Every structure is written in structure tokens, then in C-alpha cells.
């Protein structure tokens, strides 16, 4: 029987994602740096805050959301940044759905992610998010580890950028665990770099991590969708072939030495023949 192991796209064993909150004007500089170095991230916004004056920096305008965050992911806070556990259930549902509606009308794709305002949540809140059509939620806790999430509605980051960022970056780069998939998840608020006058730290991180091979740079939802696509694969009882019914290609390592991509709606036979589940003619891999 063939041994089969999941990898990230193109055989990568490591992934990096960022998640930044609140949507203040400093996001413009952050995204410019991320785009320069090829990083990707998720930005959690509260629609009622658009164009408001902030205590340090002002909030971005609604009209710039689509262009500013293009290539990244727009995700939710509550509509007005209210703490989830302090709201009656009906009001919590209203806050989530109102925010999703505004954001989706701006970016023209389903908004499926969430970050808990102030990091506060409960089991009831987690269940409510799922009912409202969200697929994951990030906490403000940090693990100092490079693990994949066990509970997508209690997803904790590796670290905040104030927590020895470059030391953790170096540890991630040097990490040599060929049988394990490793995820570096960074979170924070972009305005903190402005307040602390340490944009150089963020650029040093971007430059350092982008120069490494074997890293997949992804948004939060891309990681969620990739892991879900792997879970949806159908394997023959003897692992002689695999079927991918999803619309996300999945990379697999076969027998520890052969990398294959199981594309969307495709069946791959491990004897070297691939055919589409939509009935296309068989072709060699």
C-alpha cells in the first residue's frame, strides 16, 4: 500500500499567514510592504468604523476596501467592534450578519472569517458564528508554536509581533521537521507599528521570511480551504487512487519521494494515470 502524506501546495512543508485587526490608515503601509515581499494576510474590519476618527489614527474609508485589500482576505469583527459575550444572542447575530453584508458588498466574495474583538468569546459565541455562515475565528491568545489549528473557531496565533518576532522567525526558518507541517501565524494591529515607531521591525520580518524557500504564503481562509480540501479527498481502500471532489488542488507526498497534485474534480491513480471526475479522457501524469 502506498503511504500518502499531506503537504502544502507545491510540496511546501511550511506556511506563513498574518492576521491584522481594525482597518486603520496604517493598513495602507502594511499592505504595501506585504505586497513588496510577497506576503499574504487577513484583515478583520468593523464596517461601522469606516471613515471614523480614531484615538491615534483614523479608520480607512469603505470605498478603498476592495482595492486596498486586493490579494488578501477581508474578514469580520463585529459591526461596531462590540465584545461578543456582552451582547444578547439576537444582537450578536445582527452584528455579525450586518458586518458580513457590508463587507461582502464591498469585496464581492463571501466573508467567512472572524476575529474576536478584545479576544473575548464563549462556546455559545463560537456556535453562533458557525450559524451565521463563518468558517473560523481567531483569538488574541498566542501559542509560541507552529501548529495547525485543532479548533477553527478557537484559532490562536503563533505570536503577536511584539513577542520576540525576529527570534521566532529565525526559529521557524531553522525548524527541520520533515514529517510535520508547520504554520507561522502572526497577528496584531498595524497602527501599533506607527505608535511604537518600529515599522523597521515589520519590514525586517517581511524581508527575512520572504527570502526562504519551502514556504507557502497564504491568507487564513486559504489555509482553511486547503485543509478542508484534504479532508474531503476520497482514497481507495488500498490507496491506489485518490479522488478530489473539491475546487482546491491538493499536494500529496507519495511513498516519501513522489510529489503529486490532485487537481479540482480529478482522480489520480498512483500507477501514473490521471483522469477527470468530469469524464475527461485519461492522460499520463
Phi, psi of 114 (to 5 degrees): -150, 150
Whole-number Å distance between alpha carbons of 100 and 95 = 9
Query: Which pLDDT band, with edges at 50, 70 and 90, does 272 fall under?
Result: low
277, pLDDT greater than 90: no
Look at the block and give the residue holding cell 477553527: 152
Q: Name the average pLDDT for the chain.
A: 94
- Going from N- to C-terminal start, the domains of the chain cover 12-226, 233-284
Strand pairing partners for 154?
none
Whole-number Å distance between alpha carbons of 230 and 233 = 5
What nine digits make up the cell of 41?
Answer: 494576510
Q: What pLDDT, on the 0 to 100 scale, is given for residue 2?
A: 85
3-25, pLDDT tens digit by residue?
Answer: 899 999 999 999 999 999 999 99
What nine digits make up the cell of 222?
Answer: 486559504
220, 73 contact by CB (below 8 A): yes
Whole-number Å distance between alpha carbons of 186 and 178 = 22
pTM reported for the whole predicted model:
0.94
Query: Which pLDDT band, with edges at 50, 70 and 90, does 279 fall under?
Result: very low
Q: What pLDDT, on the 0 to 100 scale, is given for residue 273?
A: 55
Range 12-226: architecture per CATH = Alpha-Beta Barrel (3.20)
Amino acid at each position: 500500500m502506498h503511504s500518502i502524506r499531506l503537504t502544502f501546495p507545491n510540496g511546501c512543508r511550511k506556511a506563513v499567514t498574518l492576521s491584522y485587526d481594525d482597518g486603520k490608515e496604517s493598513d495602507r503601509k502594511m499592505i504595501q510592504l506585504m505586497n513588496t515581499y510577497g506576503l499574504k494576510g487577513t484583515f478583520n474590519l468593523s464596517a461601522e468604523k469606516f471613515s471614523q476618527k480614531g484615538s491615534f489614527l483614523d479608520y480607512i474609508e469603505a470605498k478603498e476596501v476592495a482595492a486596498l485589500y486586493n490579494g488578501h482576505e477581508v474578514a469580520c469583527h463585529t459591526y461596531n467592534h462590540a465584545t461578543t459575550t456582552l451582547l444578547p444572542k439576537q444582537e450578536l447575530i445582527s452584528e455579525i450578519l450586518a458586518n458580513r453584508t457590508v463587507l461582502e458588498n464591498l469585496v464581492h466574495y463571501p466573508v467567512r472569517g472572524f476575529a474576536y474583538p478584545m479576544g473575548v468569546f464563549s462556546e455559545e459565541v463560537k456556535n453562533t458564528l458557525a450559524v451565521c455562515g463563518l468558517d473560523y475565528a481567531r483569538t488574541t491568545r498566542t501559542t509560541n508554536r507552529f501548529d495547525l489549528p485543532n479548533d477553527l473557531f478557537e484559532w490562536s496565533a503563533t505570536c503577536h509581533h511584539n513577542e520576540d518576532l525576529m527570534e521566532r522567525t529565525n526559529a521557524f526558518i531553522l525548524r527541520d521537521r520533515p514529517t510535520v507541517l508547520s504554520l507561522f501565524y502572526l497577528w496584531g494591529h498595524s497602527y501599533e507599528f506607527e505608535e511604537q515607531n518600529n515599522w523597521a521591525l515589520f519590514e525586517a520580518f517581511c524581508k527575512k521570511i520572504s527570502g526562504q524557500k519551502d514556504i507557502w504564503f497564504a491568507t487564513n481562509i486559504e489555509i482553511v480551504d486547503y485543509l478542508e480540501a484534504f479532508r474531503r479527498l476520497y482514497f481507495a481502500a488500498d490507496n491506489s487512487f485518490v479522488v478530489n471532489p473539491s475546487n482546491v488542488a491538493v499536494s500529496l507526498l507519495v511513498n516519501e519521494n513522489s510529489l503529486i497534485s490532485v487537481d479540482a474534480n480529478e482522480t489520480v491513480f498512483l500507477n501514473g494515470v490521471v483522469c477527470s471526475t468530469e469524464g475527461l479522457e485519461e492522460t499520463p501524469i
